């Protein structure tokens, strides 16, 4: 017999009784809750207040799922029985009101603040690497011009080349991160945004987030489909660049006991809405394995290769963000604002 589960958003939905005690997804707001009968659960805390939140959808009792005919909450986004995706219950007036509020916040936002926030073109890391590259180039030139200084020339040539290449790569990453809003398309802007966070250029990435998105509350970390991928589910709130970097660190770095490698495989535009928004998806390749793997190096290359094949866990995750172009610049609609828009265009 299905049991009723109360969510923190104040809504109640039904799930199969064999899911009792497990974590399920709220079919109304998408939050993760424990499947405990509504009458047994404690009173849920009030939902976080989001600036210019939409009015609640008209409350109804139940309706028949168009796919399996089960009785489900009228405001459901997805059937809890057959998982059929249902159309959005937000009206066109509600969508228009929400988008208008978002655009008004952009009109009152001064782009000059973003220039101060993201700082200069080159980060400290790039300048330090460039300094080493310059020093070794000087040493290389000295080895050429001075007598009996061939060793200095060879030393300067080798390390000058290494630091020179590292400087060019770091400078390119700085340039891409510095020009996230100036990208030619939404998918390019999102790719630069994710790359900046991966390379710890959080100030430049934070400057590309919409003003309302910079006050994110209780953002849930990305879930992996493969349970072997080390993951610590957390709810993060951020209001500055350091908070944003700390949230993404849970994805790019993972728990302290693991080593993780993430590759941005593909970024593509999924949909453009009549309101001027662009929905973009980024497909990330994830490889995660335990740090204890390093101890096997002493056992030989062959054993290490076998353990890598056994212990590593691969997965792909899809990151969906809504992009808004305002005055020629792309901004990432993040936090609860993004999830609300995703509901509106489900």
**Residue 19 located in a structural domain:** yes
Q: Which of 17-21, 310-314, 327-331 has the lowest mean pLDDT?
A: 17-21
Summarize pLDDT for 137-187 with one digit per residue, the tens: 999 998 988 878 888 889 999 999 999 999 999 999 999 999 999 899 999
In a domain, residue 219? The reply is yes
For residues 9 and 30, give the distance between their C-alpha atoms in angstroms, rounded to a whole number. Answer: 10
68 and 154 inside one domain: no
157 and 73 fall within a common domain: no
User: How far apart (Å, rounded) are the C-alpha atoms in residues 209 and 215?
Assistant: 10
21 and 85 share a domain?
A: yes
| pLDDT per position as a tens digit, 68-94 | 677 887 666 667 776 666 655 566 777
Please report the sign of the dihedral spanned by the C-alpha atoms of residue 118, residue 104, residue 237, residue 75: negative
Domain assignment present for 104: no
Residue 333 lies inside a defined structural domain of this protein: yes
Helix (H, G, I), strand (E, B) or coil at 255: coil
Whether 46 has a pLDDT exceeding 90, the answer reads no
Residues 83 and 133 in one domain: no
CB 173 within 8 A of CB 195: yes
Residues 327 and 30: their CA atoms lie apart, in Å, by: 32
The pLDDT of residue 57: 41
Residues 256 and 311 in one domain: yes
C-alpha pair distances (Å), 124 with each of 202, 244, 340: 13, 19, 37
Residue 247 lies in a domain: yes
DSSP tag of 292? G
Provide CB contacts within 8 A for 247, sequence distance 6+. Answer: 219, 221, 236, 238
pLDDT digits (tens, 9 = 90+) for 236-286: 888 899 999 988 888 888 888 788 888 998 999 998 888 889 999 999 998
Whether 192 is in a domain gets the answer no
Pairing of strands 277-290, 313-326: antiparallel
Residue 71 lies in a domain: yes
Measured between alpha carbons, how far is 175 from 122 in angstroms, rounded to an integer?
A: 8
Backbone angles phi, psi at 196, to 5 degrees: -65, -40
CA 268 vs CA 158, 162, 252, 278, 336: distances in Å: 40, 34, 20, 10, 22
Whether residue 338 sits in one domain with residue 228: yes
Same domain, 155 and 277: no
Note whether 218 and 337 are same-domain residues.
yes
pLDDT, greater one: 75 or 214: 214
**What range defines the domain where residue 55 resides?**
3-89
Residues 55 and 145 in one domain: no
Domain assignment of residue 50, yes or no: yes
Q: Report the CATH number that the domain containing residue 257 is assigned in CATH.
A: 3.10.450
Among residues 27, 62, 89, the one where a domain terminates is: 89
Which residue, chain included where needed, has tokens 């207040």?
A: 49
- The model's pTM is 0.53
Task: Tell which of 45, 66, 89 closes a domain.
Answer: 89
Q: Do both 167 and 217 map to the same domain?
A: no
Domain count for the chain? 3
């Amino acid at each position: 017999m299905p049991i009723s589960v109360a969510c923190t958003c104040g809504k109640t939905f039904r799930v199969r009784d064999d899911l009792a005690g497990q974590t399920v997804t709220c079919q109304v707001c998408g939050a993760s809750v424990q499947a405990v009968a509504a009458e047994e659960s404690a009173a849920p805390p009030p939902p976080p207040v989001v600036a210019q939140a939409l009015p609640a959808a008209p409350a109804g009792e139940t309706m028949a799922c168009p796919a399996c005919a089960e009785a489900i909450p009228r405001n459901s986004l997805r059937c809890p029985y057959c998982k059929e995706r249902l159309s959005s219950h937000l009206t066109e007036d509600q969508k228009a009101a929400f988008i208008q509020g978002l655009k008004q916040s952009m009109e009152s936002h001064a782009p000059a603040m973003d220039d101060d926030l993201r700082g200069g073109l080159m980060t400290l890391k790039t300048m330090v690497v460039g300094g080493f590259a310059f020093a070794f180039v000087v040493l290389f030139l000295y080895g050429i011009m001075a007598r009996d200084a061939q060793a200095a020339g060879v030393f300067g040539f080798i390390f000058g080349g290494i630091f020179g290449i590292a400087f060019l790569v770091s400078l390119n990453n700085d340039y891409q991160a510095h020009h996230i809003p100036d990208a030619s398309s939404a998918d390019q802007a999102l790719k630069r945004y994710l790359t900046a966070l991966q390379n710890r250029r959080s100030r430049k990435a934070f400057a590309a987030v919409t003003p309302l998105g910079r006050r994110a509350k209780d953002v849930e970390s990305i879930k992996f489909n493969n349970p072997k991928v080390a993951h610590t589910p957390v709810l993060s709130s951020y209001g500055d660049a350091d908070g944003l970097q700390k949230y993404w660190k849970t994805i790019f770095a993972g728990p302290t006991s693991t080593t993780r490698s993430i590759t941005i495989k593909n970024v593509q535009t999924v949909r453009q809405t009549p309101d001027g928004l662009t929905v973009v998806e980024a497909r990330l390749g994830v490889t995660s394995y335990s740090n204890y793997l390093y101890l096997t190096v002493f056992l030989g290359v062959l054993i290490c290769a076998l353990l890598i094949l056994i212990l590593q866990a691969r997965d792909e995750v899809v990151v969906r963000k809504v992009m808004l172009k305002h005055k020629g610049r792309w901004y990432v609609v993040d936090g609860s604002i993004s999830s609300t828009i995703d509901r509106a265009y489900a």
